[in-house]
Amino acid sequence: MKTLTIGLGSMGMGAALSCHRAGLTSVGFDLNADALNAFAADGGTPIDRLDNADSIDVALIFVVNAQQAESVIFDSPLLDKLSPGAVVMNCVTLAPSIAKDLAARVIERGFGYIDAPVSGGALKASEGRMSVMASATPASMQHAQPVLDAIAEHVFRLGDAAGEGSKMKTINQLLAGVHIAAAAEAMNLAAALDMDLHQVIDVISKCAGTSWMFENRAPHIADGDYRPLSSVDIFVKDLGIVQHEARAEAAVTPLTDTSLGLFADASQAGLGRLDDSAVAQLLARQSQQRLPGMDE
């Protein structure tokens, strides 16, 4: 089976290399030459133009947003490079309505489509241990099973219709964004109280107040390491999707609204391309506090 992963960021790179390690012919495309070189160094087959792809059985989409996903699927040669019966597996966080629209258009061209947003972070992606929230026809799921086996520890079948996977990812991103904001607030308060930030992490990680996001992101804050694995701007986008979906259904989301405001303010303050934990820097500035890694 030949796979093509479009978007070799932290999650896409992990998926592409997991396919390679599983014995699949793994091709990767990205506009970033460094990403292509890193992929090649680990045994993958990089291409710098989608024109160079051919006979692809499963295309995995790991771009940033809905606009990029639509463009790479329909405004590039991608669909012309797929094998008969191939499947497009879209792993981008999308509004459910957009997932439905993209699926219908791909299916109209004669290919399968899996609404397949993922979760787990860069480490789990690199280990082939992501969680996939998938909705697709049984035929598409069966066709892509070798890929799912390669990249995921947990594959959740959420129905046959596109959009159901994206609904679940919407709920996940609500919780993820709120938990990151809460972790940032807690670490900023700990700094204001002149506490040892690493000790705070050690203790809270063993207490009821912990969360996966606290345990994963608080060390970034304590170390002052804001190299982006998932950026502030990603959560501006994702919490925007959450807010839009909630308002469409008249569901109140006060914690989402507050967290989105923090991420949006952090982005406007020049922190948008940093790791999403950099929302802590915004809180520190507002508190007239300093955290590790902040400019003088």
169 catalytic residue (yes or no): yes
Q: What is the pLDDT of residues 166-225, one digit of tens each?
A: 999 999 999 999 999 999 999 999 999 999 999 999 999 999 999 999 999 999 999 999
pLDDT, position 226: 96
Q: Last residue of a domain, which of 99, 127, 161?
A: 161
Domain end residue (candidates: 135, 161, 187): 161
Give the per-residue pLDDT at 279.
98
Q: CA–CA distance from 23 to each of 1, 16, 122, 263 (Å)?
A: 9, 11, 21, 40
* Segment 233-237 mean pLDDT: 97
Residue 55 lies in a domain: yes
Q: Is 295 a member of any domain?
A: no
11 and 53 share one domain: yes
- Judge whether 296 lies within some domain: no
Q: Specify the pLDDT at position 295.
A: 73
The verdict on 74 and 131 lying in the same domain is: yes
Count how many Cα atoms sit within 13 Å of the Cα of residue 1 in the half-sphere of its side chain: 24
Mean pLDDT value of segment 229-240: 96
Q: Flag whether 218 is in a domain.
A: yes
Check 167, 169, 206, 237 and give the catalytic one: 169
- 114 and 247 in a single domain? The answer is no
What pLDDT digit, counting tens, does each position of 2-42 carry? Answer: 999 999 999 999 999 999 999 999 999 999 999 999 999 99
Query: Is pLDDT at 241 greater than 90 in this prediction?
Result: yes
In the Cβ-directed half-sphere of 240, how many Cα atoms lie within 13 Å? Answer: 12
Alpha-carbon span 64 to 69, nearest angstrom: 8
- Is 180 inside any structural domain? yes
Clarify whether residues 149 and 206 are in a common domain: no
| Segments forming the whole domain that contains residue 275 | 166-287
CA distance 128 to 250: 38
Whether residues 88 and 180 fall in one domain: no
Asked whether residue 46 is assigned to any structural domain, the reply reads yes
Number of domains in the chain: 2
| Residue range 66-87: mean pLDDT, rounded | 98
Is 239 a domain residue?
yes
Which CATH number is 10's domain given? Answer: 3.40.50.720
* Alpha helices by DSSP H, the chain: 10-21, 33-41, 66-74, 96-108, 121-126, 138-143, 145-151, 164-192, 197-204, 212-223, 232-248, 254-266, 279-287
pLDDT in tens, 43-60: 999 999 999 999 999 999
Confidence of residue 229 (pLDDT cuts 50, 70, 90): confident
Residue 132 has pLDDT above 80, yes or no: yes
Q: What is the mean pLDDT of residues 239-251?
A: 97
Q: Is 155 in the same domain as 181?
A: no
d(CA 63, CA 206): 35
Q: Is residue 254 part of a domain?
A: yes
Percent residues over pLDDT 70 in the chain: 100
Domain CATH code at residue 277: 1.10.1040.10
Q: Quick one: tokens of 45?
A: 């087959």
pLDDT given at position 188: 98
Q: Looking at the structure, do residues 34 and 149 belong to the same domain, yes or no?
A: yes
What are the residues facing 114 on neighbouring strands?
Answer: 89
Asked if residue 283 has pLDDT above 70, the reply is yes
Final residue belonging to a domain, choices 145, 161, 177: 161
